[in-house]
Structure 1
Amino acid sequence: MDMNQYLDMFIEESKEHLQAINANLLILENDPTNIQIVNEIFRSAHTLKGMSATMGFEDMASLTHEAENVLDLIRNNKLTINSDIMDVIFQSVDLIESMVIHITEGGDGSADVSKPVQKLRAIVSGEYQAEQETAAALAVEPAAPEAASGGQEQGYELDEYAMTVLKQSKESGNNLLSIKVTLHENCLLKAARAYMVFDQLESMGEVIKTTPSVQEIENEGFDQSFSIVYVTMQPIEKIKTALLNISEVVEVDVDTIQLQQQQQALEAAAPPVQAKAAEPVAKQEDNASKQQVAGKKPAAGGKTIRVDIERLDILMNLFSELVIDRGRLEQLAREIGKNELQETVEHMSRISGDLQSIILTMRMVPVEQVFNRFPRMVRDLAKDLNKKVNLEIFGAETELDRTVIDEIGDPLVHLLRNSLDHGLESVEERKKAGKPEEGTIQLRAFHSGNHVFIEVKDDGAGINKEKVLNKALERGIVSQTAAETMSDKQIHELLFASGFSTAEVISDISGRGVGLDVVKSKIESLGGSVSVDSVRGKGTTFLIQLPLTLSIISAMLVQVKNEKYAVPLSSIIETAVFKKDQIMMAHRQKVIDFRGRVVPLVSLEDVFQVPRDRVEESDEVAVVIVRKGEKMAGLVVDSFIGQQEIVLKSLGKYLVNVFAISGATILGDGQVALIIDCNALIK
């Protein structure tokens, strides 16, 4: 069998399982008695082992198998978790992750797993030498207790819902069967074989219940056999023969269910009258159970499919061209003035608007994909630094465009490492300051308008502004005169200056300020901004502002002489027209009074050196008020054209780093309009 066709799926699913294992291991480390979490980790490891073995990655399969043995002891209360055991498991997971990366890069996934395998085996043998005889039984979960014959040997227990369905089926003349299917002991794709069994059964009847659950069967959470409660009009022999014809099925036991005995068992297992408070929970579980298993076969991920991001990129590019043509059609319809054409174009605009919304939504993914890697990173760094740290994550469900998600990981890693290394104090320093030994770092994401904000906040020592200012003066970043009038916030912003650092010793983790200019450049290249706020002794907060999407944006089109420019709506506060006598001068700069604030004016004609055909005199000045954080500016233009959705296009490799221009767009009439970078103008 050619396994290459499954390679992409294997890589994606392996990453998901490894992420789940990492996250659950962190929970387990803080709550060692949580057997439910151990079971979750075991299931992920078990699935990963089966997948890697099937794909022929033997090193990964053998290492995962040894880790699975340790987890099996833990979940059966045969092994007590401690820090050393957790470290060995984490190291094993790291090695498996490196194998997956190797495979992703075209390698064969091979690695030297002898040391971690030896450690894992030592954990098992060292603790349980006296119990080697029972080791083979450790992988088997204890079967659910049975209350009556006619079902006991099959390992199922019927609830009221299942009993009602069986009674109705019996009255309709159906056979009520309990089926136990056993697969070959060397069967690799157990979930696939189980699917074939369910598919065959559903062609001849209806599945009522499975043991274990459908979800567990999908995840290969069973040994070699599973049980099914089944109703059919077909004879037993036909059912048995059909199932035995499926590859890897070695045994099929079929028995008839005795309803009377099952009813007695159900009544015997019913809770006493005084325990009625627990009934609603049991009923919810029954409802969930019947929704999950009644008449359903295992499905791969429900009603979702995996789509390559490159296909979505192509779809977005094609739609971008459609948006340009839509603008052209709207303009032509206005010029021609025919009602029928205008109505058709308006309808097309509504439909394409809905299509645009769907495409943008398809590209949106939760920031959880980025945030998920940080708990493990913080745990390891805290251990290296001998610090106690609690990472709190909020708003992981907040969605961003995939192109933005792919780029923000590194800046966030840098900010978190800064907070850990130089933001949070040591345990001794925190005690002296009267703080809890455990420091807190908060990572928060939230929507606001057309932006997503990501906040990295620590409760550490804060930024030493005197030290920052002295370093800035020493480096010549600011003058002595300017330094005397700078506010605290302006001093904090100096951290983003190129090459600036307050770290006396630059560690291999990072120093507060080391590379923050790179963080700022990366965020601004995404059309966003980053700011910092700090209170000495209380902590520091970095706030990142990012656009929801980078492909299609809403903008205000403005005219400057014969040229058109687009100003992103996300940067605009208001458009206004001022009388010339309202314009004042301050420090040789034209300014206006906008709602009680002095706002400097920036002439786009002067900034972009737009050629002037003739001198035009007017008593009024059109101004677009824009902002960047708390700073504001007024862009002087000739006129406002109107709001329009535009497709953001790159200027290409020949026009890089053009001042105050972030890209270009093609308008409906075919003209090219440059998109203004308001952040650069305000700065």
Structure 2
Amino acid sequence: MEMNEYLEVFIEESKEHIQSLNDQLLILEKEPTNMDTVSEIFRSAHTLKGMSATMGYQDLANLTHKMENVLDAVRNHKLVITSDILDVVLDAVDQLEAMVVDIASGGDGTRDVESLVAQLNAIETGEHQEVDKSSKTSSKPVKNNDSSFEKLDQFEWAILQQSEEKGFQNQEIHIRLNENCLLKAARVYMVFEVLEQVGEVIKANPSVQELEEENFELDFTVLLVTKESADDVKKRILKVSEIEDVSINLFELGVSDDVSEKVDEGQDKATEVTATAEKTAKKPNNGVINNKTIRVNIDRLDALMNLFEELVIDRGRLEQISANLKHGELQETVERMTRISGDLQNIILNMRMVPIEQVFNRFPRMVRQLTKDLGKQVNLEIVGAETELDRTVIDEIGDPLVHLIRNALDHGVETPNEREAKGKPAEGKLLLNAFHSGNHVFIEISDDGAGISREKIVKKAISNGVITQEQANTLSDKQVFQLIMASGFSTAETISDISGRGVGLDVVKNTIESLGGNITIESEFGKGSVFSIQLPLTLSIISVLLIEVEKEKYAIPLSSIIETAIVSKSDILNAHNKKVIDFRGKVVPLISLKEVFDVPGEQVEEEFYSIVIIRKGDKMAGLIVDTFIGQQEVVLKSLGDYLKDVFAISGATILGDGQVALIVDTNSLIK
């Protein structure tokens, strides 16, 4: 059996467990006594350890094991979590993530973590010594002669007793593997995964560590707290392949004077575990049996999308042929095919949609570290993480958001002393909000910090030669704020490692505009700022207006178009040696696509001009074209590496008649 069969699943599930560790550890920092959170953290670490050991990534398994020991001490009330301890555990999580990334890129996941292991050992050893002096948690025998478990400590005894009182079953499950089983540890891991879906595993014989190291023959036994019937549990276990036999008996505690003196810790632990089992029992469709989702390699979705894009091109060709022939039955068939392929298009696009949570997940850790580095107090709130975007957009939006958040923390939110001096709470607020509106997704990064100083920006812009004093007097606040995204613009008095080192926000702006989006800024001095990003839902299939210049066809994205117009020659004015028109009270410059793309043909003075009014943020321009052809959905195709730097062209598409139409990058035409 090849391990490569499981590698892809291992990598994806490891990433999920690491993200869960990050999220839950941050919750634990705010609620250090929340035992439900501790249990979630321990479960993720334990599962990750088992997976790593099974796959043969020993460094990953060993580091997780050390981290698990610290978490187990917290879980058993032998260690109280502090910010310093959490720093070490989070460092361990970072190293785990780096190992998984290395494995995903073809490496062996090895990493020098001796220093980190030593720190984890020191935390575990120091706390255990301190507790051992006063603790009374020695193992106590339980009288149950027929059981595989000769001894139970007070924690385990209290858990089992309280589970009985709350109506749970304590099941002793004996499992025998098939004699031909090749990867015993892998089968044990899969059995534990099934059991954790229906309840809480209390103990194993042999121990979990021995099972993971395959230090057993073919049989093992576990104690499970559950509300599921023995028959149901048995059916679930037998779904795992290479299981020879499963037998389940109710575990009876018996009577013992030794265990009647239950300590408070045992009772607390029992409450925690039975509460976890209660949650598991209430989960709808829990377990692997009723799961209605599957993992699909993204390359397969990309291949499906490419095939459908070809279908869209042929669909357009069929529609054109049908219109030309005017054959009744052919037209009906093509119309039906158009409707069906349209539904198929929506399904495929939805399959490619992923929640923006995948990007947002990295920010709580980042904000925690940056606020510590800056000596600030900031509460990060995330809203709309379930909002979905096409994967191609998700892949590109992460870095701009990181830059904007760093900028808000560094330049926006003040230090606690500065805030209190202004009558504000010492803790600042940073809101990350995502939501759908029409065919776009909006992402807002807002803070209640110092806001943006108009005077400071104007002064810097004038000194940099970006604007003149006369121009500054005519600009609105919104227009002034947009200046901070000019190339190389920065109002920082000193260059810092936190936000950009003087680079400014022009990189953010360029990336967002390359995705067909735009960014706007609103701010009130002394009260805070809002950076709002507008993005298209998808970049693969877009709606365009087809136009013609001489005999060449071009496609202009509808998301950039305000409207089309027919303008009389007499309405065209000249300003600063440029042609302009008065469009709804605004002076809009005209751009001839024939001149921009150097289309061959004679220059002829027309009586009327066909104009496409386009927009980029607050700026507008009018594109002069020869003919409007009409609206159409087209497939965006790259021009390849050799033609990627062609001015004002973002790609191409194949039309229904087989012709190639270039897609105009309207953002490049407006300055």
Tell me if both proteins adopt one fold, taking TM over 0.5 as the criterion: yes
1:438 and 1:668 mapped to 2: Cα distance? 59
Q: 1:465 aligns with which of 434, 447, 454?
A: 454
Q: Which amino acid in 1 is paired with 2:630?
A: G
Q: CA deviation at 1:72?
A: 2.1
Aligned equivalent of 1:681: 669
Aligned equivalent of 1:160: none
Aligned equivalent of 2:173: 180
Q: How does 1:284-295 map to 2 (within 5 A)?
A: 289=282, 291-292=284-285
Q: Which amino acid in 1 is paired with 2:162?
A: P
Q: Secondary structure at the match of 2:521?
A: strand
Q: 2:288 aligns with which of 272, 285, 298?
A: 298
- Does 1:79 pair with 2:63? no
Do the aligned partners of 1:400 and 1:549 also contact (CA within 8 Å) in 2?
A: yes
Q: 1:635 aligns with which of 623, 632, 646?
A: 623
- Does 1:331 pair with 2:320? yes
Q: Which amino acid in 1 is paired with 2:123?
A: I
Do the aligned partners of 2:138 and 2:153 also contact (CA within 8 Å) in 1?
A: yes
Structure 1's 339 and 370: CA in aligned 2 closer, same or farther, altered over 3 A? Answer: same
Q: CA deviation at 1:330?
A: 0.9
Q: CA deviation at 1:587?
A: 5.4
Q: CA deviation at 1:406?
A: 0.8
Aligned equivalent of 2:426: 437
Q: Percent identity?
A: 59
Q: How does 1:504-543 map to 2 (within 5 A)?
A: 504-511=493-500, 514-543=503-532
Do the aligned partners of 2:430 and 2:445 also contact (CA within 8 Å) in 1?
A: yes
- Does 1:115 pair with 2:104? no
Q: CA deviation at 1:475?
A: 3.0
Aligned equivalent of 1:260: none
Q: CA deviation at 1:213?
A: 4.7
Q: CA deviation at 1:82?
A: 1.6
Q: Secondary structure at the match of 1:544?
A: strand
The two structures have a TM-score, normalised by structure 1, of: 0.80
Q: 1:647 aligns with which of 635, 660, 667?
A: 635
Q: Which amino acid in 2 is paired with 1:18?
A: I
Do the aligned partners of 1:584 and 1:592 also contact (CA within 8 Å) in 2?
A: yes
1:484 and 1:614 mapped to 2: Cα distance? 40
Structure 1's 256 and 662: CA in aligned 2 closer, same or farther, altered over 3 A? Answer: closer
Q: 1:562 aligns with which of 551, 565, 569?
A: 551
Q: 2:169 aligns with which of 143, 156, 161?
A: 156
- Does 1:193 pair with 2:181? no
Aligned equivalent of 2:96: 96
Aligned equivalent of 1:667: 655
Q: Deviations over 1:255-300 (max 9, x none)?
A: 699xxxxxxxxxxxxxxxxxxxxxxxx9xx899748546xxx634x
Structure 1's 512 and 156: CA in aligned 2 closer, same or farther, altered over 3 A? Answer: same
Q: How does 1:27-106 map to 2 (within 5 A)?
A: 27-106=27-106
Do the aligned partners of 1:401 and 1:550 also contact (CA within 8 Å) in 2?
A: yes
Do the aligned partners of 2:354 and 2:391 also contact (CA within 8 Å) in 1?
A: yes
Do the aligned partners of 1:214 and 1:292 also contact (CA within 8 Å) in 2?
A: no
- Does 1:214 pair with 2:198? yes
Structure 1's 615 and 468: CA in aligned 2 closer, same or farther, altered over 3 A? Answer: closer
Q: Deviations over 1:591-646 (max 9, x none)?
A: 4444454444333334334333584754x433323222233333332322111101
Q: 1:455 aligns with which of 435, 441, 444?
A: 444
Q: Which amino acid in 1 is paired with 2:657?
A: D
Q: CA deviation at 1:119?
A: 2.6
Do the aligned partners of 1:421 and 1:511 also contact (CA within 8 Å) in 2?
A: no
Q: Which amino acid in 2 is paired with 1:34?
A: N
Q: Secondary structure at the match of 1:110?
A: coil
Structure 1's 246 and 426: CA in aligned 2 closer, same or farther, altered over 3 A? Answer: closer
Aligned equivalent of 2:229: 229
Aligned equivalent of 2:264: none
Do the aligned partners of 1:179 and 1:229 also contact (CA within 8 Å) in 2?
A: no
The two structures have a TM-score, normalised by structure 2, of: 0.81
Aligned equivalent of 2:609: 621
Unaligned runs of 5+ in 2: 140-151, 178-183, 209-221, 253-274
* Worse-superposed segment, 114-123 or 417-426: 114-123
Structure 1's 505 and 147: CA in aligned 2 closer, same or farther, altered over 3 A? Answer: closer
1:36 and 1:554 mapped to 2: Cα distance? 49
Q: CA deviation at 1:514?
A: 2.4
1:107 and 1:483 mapped to 2: Cα distance? 55
Do the aligned partners of 2:354 and 2:389 also contact (CA within 8 Å) in 1?
A: yes
Q: CA deviation at 1:438?
A: 0.9
Q: Which amino acid in 2 is paired with 1:383?
A: K
Q: Deviations over 1:445-499 (max 9, x none)?
A: 1222222121222222122333333333333333454344433333322222222
Q: CA deviation at 1:56?
A: 1.4
Aligned equivalent of 1:173: none
Aligned equivalent of 1:353: 342
Q: Deviations over 1:55-111 (max 9, x none)?
A: 112222122122222222323333222212211211211121122122222222122
Aligned equivalent of 1:474: 463
1:654 and 1:123 mapped to 2: Cα distance? 56
Aligned equivalent of 1:145: 162
Q: CA deviation at 1:361?
A: 1.0
1:212 and 1:561 mapped to 2: Cα distance? 69
Q: Which amino acid in 2 is paired with 1:94?
A: D
Structure 1's 10 and 194: CA in aligned 2 closer, same or farther, altered over 3 A? Answer: closer
Aligned pair count reads 602
Q: Deviations over 1:175-233 (max 9, x none)?
A: xxx7733579x9554342368xx8xxxxxxxxxxxx8652767xx9x97333762459x
Q: 2:405 aligns with which of 416, 439, 453?
A: 416
Q: Which amino acid in 1 is paired with 2:527?
A: K
1:290 and 1:485 mapped to 2: Cα distance? 61
Do the aligned partners of 2:495 and 2:501 also contact (CA within 8 Å) in 1?
A: no
Do the aligned partners of 2:495 and 2:502 also contact (CA within 8 Å) in 1?
A: no
Do the aligned partners of 2:519 and 2:617 also contact (CA within 8 Å) in 1?
A: no
* Worse-superposed segment, 456-465 or 365-374: 456-465
2:422 and 2:635 mapped to 1: Cα distance? 53
Aligned equivalent of 2:354: 365
Q: Which amino acid in 2 is paired with 1:113?
A: V
- Does 1:379 pair with 2:368? yes
1:462 and 1:512 mapped to 2: Cα distance? 20
2:367 and 2:96 mapped to 1: Cα distance? 20
1:373 and 1:355 mapped to 2: Cα distance? 33
Q: Secondary structure at the match of 1:680?
A: helix
Do the aligned partners of 1:181 and 1:225 also contact (CA within 8 Å) in 2?
A: no
Q: Secondary structure at the match of 1:128?
A: helix
Over the aligned positions, Cα root-mean-square deviation in angstroms equals: 3.5
- Does 1:658 pair with 2:646? yes
2:655 and 2:474 mapped to 1: Cα distance? 46
Structure 1's 288 and 613: CA in aligned 2 closer, same or farther, altered over 3 A? Answer: farther
Unaligned runs of 5+ in 1: 158-177, 199-210, 233-238, 258-281
Q: CA deviation at 1:545?
A: 1.9
Q: Which amino acid in 2 is paired with 1:180?
A: I
Do the aligned partners of 1:179 and 1:230 also contact (CA within 8 Å) in 2?
A: no
* Worse-superposed segment, 389-398 or 649-658: 649-658
Aligned equivalent of 1:547: 536
Structure 1's 249 and 43: CA in aligned 2 closer, same or farther, altered over 3 A? Answer: farther
Structure 1's 449 and 588: CA in aligned 2 closer, same or farther, altered over 3 A? Answer: farther
2:302 and 2:154 mapped to 1: Cα distance? 48
Structure 1's 287 and 515: CA in aligned 2 closer, same or farther, altered over 3 A? Answer: closer
Do the aligned partners of 1:50 and 1:189 also contact (CA within 8 Å) in 2?
A: no
1:372 and 1:476 mapped to 2: Cα distance? 40
Q: 2:477 aligns with which of 472, 479, 488?
A: 488
Q: CA deviation at 1:248?
A: 7.8
Structure 1's 43 and 379: CA in aligned 2 closer, same or farther, altered over 3 A? Answer: same
2:432 and 2:163 mapped to 1: Cα distance? 48
Q: CA deviation at 1:302?
A: 1.5
Structure 1's 35 and 322: CA in aligned 2 closer, same or farther, altered over 3 A? Answer: same
Aligned equivalent of 1:172: none
1:194 and 1:479 mapped to 2: Cα distance? 70
Q: CA deviation at 1:315?
A: 1.6
2:154 and 2:404 mapped to 1: Cα distance? 45
